[in-house]
Structure 1
Amino acid sequence: MDKYTDLIHQTFDFPTEEFTVENNELLFNGIPLMDIIKQYGTPLKLTYLPKIGSQIQKAKRLFNESMQKLDYKGTYTYCYCTKASHFSFVMEEALKNGVHIETSSGYDMEIIKALYKKGKIDKNTYIVCNGFKRERYRQHITEHINNGFVNCMPILDHLGEIDYYKEHVKVKAKVGIRLASDEEPKFEFYTSRLGVRYNDVIDLYEQQIKPDDRFELKMLHYFINTGIKDTSYYWSELSRFVHKYAEVKKVCPELDTIDIGGGFPIKTSIQAEYDYRYMTEEILRTIKRICNEEGVPEPNIFTEFGIFTVGESAANIYSILDEKLQNDKELWYMIDGSFITNLPDAWALNQRWPLLAVNHWDKEYRKIQIGGMTCDSQDYYNSEMHSFQVFLPKIPKGEPLYIGFFHTGAYQEQLSGYGGIKHCLIPSPQHILIDKDENGELKTWQFAPEQTSEAMMKILGYEV
């Protein structure tokens, strides 16, 4: 009999740092998942808070060690992108590890106010304000600057944005400029819709920023949608950006920082396939080489890590409700949730995550398709990153099978509209938080129960 455990051990170098098996049951970062299921039931989302801190410290260590190795003169600052996950427990866990913050909208700034009120940040925290800004966002930025947030920095996204700050900012202020990067060759557009054209940057500085003593151009920012990858496209865009930095630096002495947007990727399969250290060193070598060629000092570096910060901290756990053989060969396992509503990137972007059975590792495996609970034909999952198919254990008669999708901590709640209305009114699952106490023992608590029908009816305007 070909057991599920044999399949996993033969396919991967297993066990891994985060995935282990005891008594034919899966542990995730040392968390006995069956114990969580027995306590809380399914479907559930869990977040293991210590993973957030370990990811931050990993990136800080990589950049600081690589800077020392290469004798890189600039400093390194880690920013967390709030858009990856706005939850308070994520923000507070990240801030414990000395991060700064990158925002995307006016409502983000309400989070900044709340964090400051709770003493989680102070007025020296960097708040890098990105995005195309409506009135509310510009107003919040201005209020923070005028109230003494000395490192609240609007990143100008178009030529007219500076006009608002000129009219309303009353104190000295730092600003940045986002450069409009070229998109991937396969993308539908040549140039990003966001940011200022390369050819307009120096004119923007010399005509709009330099003449006003209140404003100091400190940062150039660019964003690569693919994230940091070892591709000719990535290195070409990075080189073009650093050359432009050097050009602007020669006319703007106070400019001293670059923000590399688009962060490290996370593991979308059980096995790691990414050399973070190599990429870090190559980024630094590229910047250092071009700056030396151009005769300008090496800039300080900011990175914006959202997915990398929070993605690997979370998992979605489901029960298999039933199995259905729909023809001679298409066997379906039906879950007590939905990909479209719980993990929308699986549907919208064909995103893959590490998928493992939680129990029954000693049972025979079979090829299956996984179906969600909505009536939509697209609500399914049938391939892994390492394979064009999915294998899971056979379901023993009278016993439940549980499965987990891992590294689901970034964007899924934001994209699915957490607590709102979902396709076929499939509810948001309960959310469980897991941490360690001072003795290293796991502690769990429920952050939110499963969304109720009453909450949905109220949103829809029905009397309950």
Structure 2
Amino acid sequence: MENESRKKKHLTFGGCDTIALAEKYGTPLYVMDEQKIRSKCREIQENFLGKYENTRAVYASKAFLNMTMCKIIESEGIGLDVVSGGELFTAIQAGFPTQDIIFHGNNKSYEELSLAVKYDVGRVVVDNTYELEMLQKIAKSNKKKVRILFRIAPGIEGSTHKYISTGQKDSKFGIPLAEDQLNHVVAFALKASHLELMGFHFHLGSQLFENGIYVAALDVLAKLMKDMKERYGFVSKELNAGGGFGIFYVEGDQPKPLRYFTDQIMEKVKTICHEMGVPIPQVIIEPGRWMVAEAGLTLYTIGAIKDIPGVRTYVSVDGGMPDNPRPALYSAKYQADIANKMNLEKVQKITVAGKCCETGDILIWDLMVPPVKSGDILAVYNTGAYNYSMASNYNRLPRPPVVLVNEGIDHVIVRRETYEDLLHREEVPMYLQKKVKESSEII
């Protein structure tokens, strides 16, 4: 009877009692449901890879990456999109097949590109002339031929927050469709001895709910592909349409199934190629947030409660901005529940405050919950994307662990940081060490 009572009161996630997880691992705690991730991978297989020939999907790993995630993605037959040397190194250490990696980024360093060339990364998405020339030199010195795509800024703006919009004309990403710039890089790539141009890439932003923006971008790319064919005889072998498919966070969000986007993309690409009389290129998508956001949950313990009569009730938790900077960065919104009071009516309005010394450290405004007390466990939903990956040690707070749950079984995949971890890279100059010693002797 006691277990049945707990089940009614407690939130379960991935077959696990979240209160038991909080008791076992402490809070704040990131929890990731493996089966939710795998179900997204299988949706990609069923509605895109298995539905259309010559297609490819890669996971945009900046959303959530560690070696365990690499293993899950590899086992599902999905490639990997990385944007830094650190992400690439993680994939290499996890044994991820480097030929299935696409390397993005608007300012890749010499060291990062050298790592990509050394380990035979499948594609490098070139963002600018500086990178293009540097990559040719690196590839030549290593006696290797590197396959590349050019990232294009198509001049298309999506309906999303300006900080996660990337396809507009005024973007830090991609090569503008100004004739002189584009022709220069294409001509350079086609003549380069150690580069092979495969095609083009665009990415329009994140949290996009309409497919029309992809069609508009493909119209732009059609003109580009036609011009490249006429001018250079170059026919694109690959076309990367990026990701950005929106997910549910709060009421009002209207996410669509993957096929809503991919069917429209494929139909448009086929039409373009038929009109141009060229073969359909391999079409690539790069979902990230869409694959992991809903697979994540963050657990917090409620501490101080501050009631301002007639104004607001602030409920503080043991995390905040360092483990989830998204509300402070771009007013991201979340839904949450009191995980140990799932059977009670929501009658109290609260504002969830983080513990950082920042007025802006507010996780959720005006959340309806049952009567709340210190010691309750707050569960914030859909935190699988950009929470762990953007976490910091602001205010010297150790970063939370990550626990993977799978049908009632839990595994630590990233351990909790300790105070000692905060100091392990620090060094005090010898002359200051001496002064500290003398000062302590005086005391």
One fold, TM greater than 0.5? yes
For 1:273-422, what aligned pairs fall within 5 Å after superposition? Answer: 273-276=254-257, 277-338=259-320, 340-364=321-345, 365-383=347-365, 389-395=366-372, 400-417=375-392, 421-422=393-394
How far is 1:449 from its partner? 4.4
Runs of 4+ residues deviating >6 angstroms: none
Q: Deviations over 1:403-422 (max 9, x none)?
A: 211221222233223xxx31
Specify the code of the residue in structure 2 equivalent to 1:164. M
What SS does the corresponding residue of 2:239 show, helix, strand or coil?
strand
SS in 1 for 2:352: strand
Aligned to 2:418: 452
- 1:435 paired with 2:406, answer yes
TM-score (norm 2): 0.83
Q: Could you say what secondary structure the match of 1:412 adopts?
A: coil
1:412-457 per-residue CA deviation (whole Å, 9 max, x = no partner) reads 233223xxx313x233223322235xxxxx3213334443223324
**2:368 counterpart letter in structure 1:** F
Structure 1 gaps of 5+ residues are 1-20, 68-73, 384-388, 437-441
Amino acid paired to 1:171: K
Residue 412 of structure 2 aligns to a residue in which SS? strand
Query: CA-to-partner distance for each residue in 1:29-48, whole Å, 9 max, x for gaps?
Result: 43322222233332211122
- Quote the offset at 1:391 in angstroms: 0.2
Indicate the residue corresponding to 2:115 in structure 1: 140
- CA distance in 2 between counterparts of 1:382 and 1:272 reads 16
The equivalent of 1:75 in structure 2 is 54
Bigger drift between 340-349 and 197-206 goes to 197-206
Q: Secondary structure at the match of 1:23?
A: helix
Contact 2:59–2:288 (8 Å) recurs in 1: yes
State the one-letter code of the partner of 1:37: A
Corresponding residue number in structure 1 for 2:134: 164
8 Å CA contact 2:14, 2:406 repeated in 1: no
Counterpart of 1:394, as a letter, is P
- Per-residue deviation at 1:233? 4.5
Instruction: Tell me which residue corresponds to 1:15.
Output: none
Contact 1:82 1:101 in 2 (8 A): yes
* Residue segments in structure 2 that go unaligned for 5+ positions in a row: 1-5, 437-443
Structure 2 residue 32 is the aligned partner of structure 1 residue 52: no
After superposition, give the CA deviation of every residue in 1:370-413 in whole Å (9 maximum; x if it has no partner): 11112211111344xxxxx31011036xx842221122122223
- Kindly report which structure 2 residues correspond to 1:97-108, keeping only aligned pairs within 5 A, or say none: 97-108=76-87
Structure 1 Cα separation of the partners of residues 316 and 186 of structure 2: 61
Equivalent-residue separation in structure 2 for 1:108 and 1:458 (angstroms): 22
Residue type of the alignment partner of 1:92:
K
Shift in alpha-carbon separation, 1:228–1:43, aligned structure 2, 3 A: closer
Provide the rounded CA distance (Å) in 1 between the counterparts of 2:354 and 2:93. 37
Distance in 2 separating the partners of 1:270 and 1:351: 13
Q: CA 1:165 to 1:330, structure 2 compared with 1: closer, same or farther past 3 Å?
A: closer
User: Secondary structure of the equivalent of 2:116?
Assistant: helix
227-236 or 25-34, which moves further after superposition? 227-236
For 1:248, the aligned partner's letter is M
Indicate the residue corresponding to 1:222 in structure 2: 202
Q: Which moved more, 1:270-279 or 1:426-435?
A: 270-279
Q: Which residue of 2 aligns with 1:42?
A: 27
2:225 equivalent to 1:245: yes
Residue 61, structure 1, aligned to residue 46, structure 2: yes
Distance 1:374 1:168, change over 3 A: closer
Cα deviation for residue 285 of structure 1 reads: 1.9
Letter in 2 for 1:343: N
Identity fraction in percent? 20
Partner of 2:237: 256
Stretch moving more, 362-371 or 223-232: 223-232
- Supply the AA of the counterpart residue of 1:161: E
Structure 1 CA distance, aligned partners of 2:25 and 2:182?
A: 57
Distance 1:163 1:395, change over 3 A: closer
Q: 1:361 to 1:52 in 2, by over 3 A?
A: closer
Residue of structure 1 in register with 2:441 after alignment: none
Residues 314 and 351, structure 2, Cα contact 8 Å, conserved in 1: yes
CA RMSD in angstroms, aligned pairs only: 2.9
**Residues 177-204 of structure 1: CA distance to partner in whole angstroms, max 9, x if unpaired?**
1112326388597422222222247623
Q: 1:102 to 1:319 in 2, by over 3 A?
A: same
**1:78 Cα deviation (Å)?**
0.9
Find the aligned partners of 1:194 and 1:31 in 2 and give their Cα distance. Answer: 41
Shift of 1:337: 1.7
